[in-house]
Structure formats: C-alpha cells, structure tokens
Structure 1
Amino acid sequence: MSVLIAIPARYASTRYPGKPLADLRGATGKSQSLIERSWRAAMAVQGVDRVVVATDDDRIRYAAETFGAEVVMTSPDCANGTERCAEAHAALGGGFEIVVNLQGDAPLTPHWFVEDLIAGLRAAPEADIATPVLRCDGAALNSLLSDRKAGRVGGTTAVFDRAHKALYFSKEVVPFTSKTYLEAEPTPVFHHVGVYAYRPDALAAYPTWPVGPLEGLEGLEQLRFMENGRGVLCVEVEARGRQFWELNNPQDVPKLEAMMAEMGLE
C-alpha cells in the first residue's frame, strides 16, 4: 500500500508563534529547527513512498526547502493538521492508500512508532484512522500532572476498549488514578502520540464535517472522527528506552534538549 507522510506546519500557533522554526540543540551542541528535526524523523521511517512538508507560510517553506524537503503549500484557512494533510493529499493528486500525519512538533518520534502505526492500520480494515499510544511510566505521568497543575496544556492522554478502539482523548490526565507510582513503574495512563494514519476516504471527508462539541472543548482534531462515527484505532507502541515528548509550549524546549542530550541524539 502506497504511503505518504505529510508534516503539517503553521507559523501562527496560538500557544507558540513561530514554533516550527524554533531551534533545538542536540547532544553535540548542534542546533536544528523543529521542522527540520521533524522532517528527518519522517525520512527515517521505512516503507514510505513520499514525505512532504505542508504549510501556508513562506518562512517555513523557505526553511524547509533549504534543508531539502519537498513542500506543498496549503490554505491558511486549514483549522488543524488533519485538514492541512487532506488538502496536501488532494494537491498531490491523491492516490496514496495511507496518509500519515507526522505533526511538526514531535521531532523525537522514533521511526518504529510510525512503522507500527502503518502496520496497525493495514491490519484493521474496520478502522478509518489509527494513532499511537504509549504507556506512561511514573516519571511521564508525573510530568503530565505537573503541567496540568501549573495550568499548562502538556501531552494528551487516551482511553480505549479491549479491541483498542478509542473511547476518548483528553488534554486532562485520564483515567484518574489516586496511586503514586515509582518513576520506572508502568501506570494505567496512556500518552497519545500525535501521529495519525488515515485512509484517504475518511481524510477527504474530514474537512466537510463541522467541528463538534467535544473537539471544540478539547481542541483535539481526532475527536471529529469519533463524533462522526468513524473508528479510531489506538496502536500501542514501545519506547525501547527512548524518551518521547512533543513541543507544546516554549517551556518544553529545555525539556526536549535535555532528552536529546541524555539519549545522545545529534
């Protein structure tokens, strides 16, 4: 099945304007922009036919073309990354059997997260969209809880049924647990990894649906699929010793840089 990875990137982020061009320093002291690191993460995924950066901003286009990325210009009216991926896929003439949305704020996404995601969607013909989830250890859960206590929107959490069909996604930490966990202890909370694999018919339909109440409240684009009765598959992935975090706020820059230093990532 032919696979396209689209990396949606916009300059006018509410929480972090200019985020795709923010520099992150790796273990060797070398700085690269967030969008370049996200593109390099996409290029490391096996079994992908094409990788593009989808943006509406000439500053991002120029930066991406400078480091060698293919760019698809999209409308500034796209409400989120899913709509931008839908527009990019259409602009390329369609034809891909799976479209992956690797959001431009997740440069630490290991290639096997995306490879396992693609394999999971291929194996689940009843699913319209698939997304990875990572079981939190005590340290990751405490980081999520600290963000919420400080009034910051950190990572998103997911709950799903026994068949791994999504029940809900939230920027709150769900499910609630009153237990205190050791740093390396597994917890019942799953961190949603902001990557999506779509079947093209569901992706094309997405921009035609109005924003529902849950998407409006949470600000989570994947809830629009659920509010329109489309099945969302949660694919559990393994960290394999890698740390993972998205860049959601300016305060996340030193956190990501510390993670890259600890893992020896250039």
Structure 2
Amino acid sequence: MIIPARYASSRFPGKPLFPLRGADGVAKSLVQRSWEAASAIGVPASVWVATDDQRIADEVAKFGGKVVMTSPDCRNGTERCAEAADKLGDVDIVVNLQGDAPLTPVDAIAPLIDLLEQKPGCAMATPAVRCSPSTYRHLVEDQRNGRVGGTTVVFDEDQRALYFSKRVIPHLPADHDLAELPVFLHLGLYAYRTGALRDYAARPPGTLELLEGLEQLRFLETGQDIAVHPLPPLGWDPIELNNPTDVAAVEAALAERGMR
C-alpha cells in the first residue's frame, strides 16, 4: 500500500505535517494518522509513504514508517504511486490510500482487490459512500461558500464510474427527501493494476482532469473503466482534510470514533 504525500499545496501548504488531535487529546501529524489507518489492516511492513519532500520523509522515519522518495515532477498522487511502484517492483496491484483521508474505512480495501479480479476490464477500483444528510449538508455548504470540499461520483448500473466532480452530483431539487440521497461521496482510496498505472503515467492530463483537479478523470478520459464499490452511510462523516477549515470537523470525527 502506498500513501502519496506532498508538502506543496495551494490550499493547505504542509498539510501532511499538520497535527490533528485524536480522542485522547494527543496530536499526531496527518501523515502519521494516514499511515496508522493503512497499517490497521495488519501488514505495516507493506505500507510505504511516497514523497518528494525531506521534511515529510523525516516525519515518517520518526514514527517508524517506510519511505520511497519520488520526483517533484509528479503531478498528482497517482503519478507518484506509479513511480513508487516502479521503484518497489514486483507488484501486480497497488493500493493508494490518500494522505488527506485518515477517516477512510480500511475494510473497504479487500473488496476493491476483489472487484479488480471480478472485472478484468477495469483499470482501477475505488469506493464511494452514500451520503448521510450531515455529509451532504457539509458538501453543499462547502460548495455554497466557494470551498473545494469532497468529491462525488456517479456510476452506471454495472457500478462503473460515469464521472467524478468536486461539485455535488447529481444535482438535487431543493425539496428532495434527504433520507434517500442518491449522492455518493468518493473516498480517497484506489486499487490499480500496475500496468494501468504505467499507462496512466505515460499520458498527459486531459481537459476534464485539469478543470476539476481530479487525477482519476484521466482514466475515464482515455476510455478506461473504473469500478466503484458503493458503501452505505458509515455512521460518521468521512471528511477529508482539504482545507484548514476542515480541521475541527476531522478532529471531532476522530474523537467520535475513539481514534487516538
């Protein structure tokens, strides 16, 4: 499993090193919390942080994680995973746990690998959780205030992705019943075939990827299928740390889940 982490960010510089307080009040860096979430699967030795920044590498070494250094020219986490996978070698499937999503449910990983086995035509598999009313309101509030919040996804009846957006899709009328929301929040977790990763890294970003700022759209723009694993509401809001304004909500979710 690879956790891509970069220091430079227009919205939140130094985000991987930002301290987040858990249920016990102790602060840990975002990259450490992401590493602990990945290691909870039970194989910490197979978890790598891929970065181009020595400050992040030093932090990972401090809490006992493993680092693979990658080029500063990587344009996104998927390209960083592709370079890291080439350096690590001898892997058929790469799992990418995004470094800004410490609340991602790690028990969603095994179903992604199963999906790739069941759907040999898919280049990648990724989970999406049906929004609870509170998650939906959080997304709409971000959108209303011009903040880039979570990503939503729509998919077909065969659970293949049709589109990902930083806007809330599909659009819902104002009187829609929030008890039955057809809105799915995309979670920052991917399982790729290694060959698809190499092909991805060899292609330039497409128009939609550049406009939305969503790396996974390169797969769709080049005609490759993405399998979506839909999940019911989780019982907590799986908020990503996209902006400094998300810190309080993420820390509240860590406390609610008893994550130290």
State the TM-score, normalized to the length of structure 2. Answer: 0.96
Equivalent residue, structure 1, for 2:184: 190
Is 1:8 the equivalent of 2:36?
no
Is 1:211 the equivalent of 2:201?
no
Q: Matched residues in 1 for 2:58 and 2:177: separation? A: 45
**Residue 144 of structure 1, CA deviation:** 0.4
Q: Matched residues in 2 for 1:20 and 1:203: separation? A: 23
State the TM-score, normalized to the length of structure 1. Answer: 0.94
1:161 counterpart (151, 156, 164): 156
Q: Deviations over 1:196-251 (max 9, x none)?
A: 11001000111111111100110100000111111111111244434311100001
Equivalent residue, structure 2, for 1:136: 131
Structure 1 residue identity aligned to 2:221: E
Structure 1 residue identity aligned to 2:116: L
Equivalent residue, structure 1, for 2:51: 55
Could you say what secondary structure the match of 1:188 adopts? coil
1:29 counterpart (25, 29, 32): 25
**Residue 83 of structure 1, CA deviation:** 0.2
CA contact (8 A) 2:5 2:99 kept: yes
Q: Deviations over 1:70-97 (max 9, x none)?
A: 10000000000000000000011x2211
Q: Matched residues in 2 for 1:83 and 1:20: separation? A: 18
Q: Matched residues in 2 for 1:27 and 1:49: separation? A: 26
Could you say what secondary structure the match of 1:187 adopts? coil
CA contact (8 A) 2:134 2:237 kept: no
Q: Matched residues in 2 for 1:173 and 1:240: separation? A: 19
Output the aligned Cα RMSD: 1.5
Equivalent residue, structure 2, for 1:224: 218
**Residue 186 of structure 1, CA deviation:** 3.3
Equivalent residue, structure 1, for 2:71: 75
Q: Deviations over 1:133-157 (max 9, x none)?
A: 1000211111100000010000000
Equivalent residue, structure 1, for 2:13: 17
1:251 counterpart (217, 220, 245): 245
Is 1:108 the equivalent of 2:103?
yes
Could you say what secondary structure the match of 1:114 adopts? helix
Q: Matched residues in 1 for 2:64 and 2:214: separation? A: 31
Could you say what secondary structure the match of 2:154 adopts? strand
Q: Matched residues in 1 for 2:13 and 2:27: separation? A: 19
Provide structure 1 residue ranges, at least 5 long, that are not aligned to the other structure. Answer: none
Provide structure 2 residue ranges, at least 5 long, that are not aligned to the other structure. Answer: none
Distance 1:48 1:119, change over 3 A: farther
CA contact (8 A) 1:138 1:182 kept: no
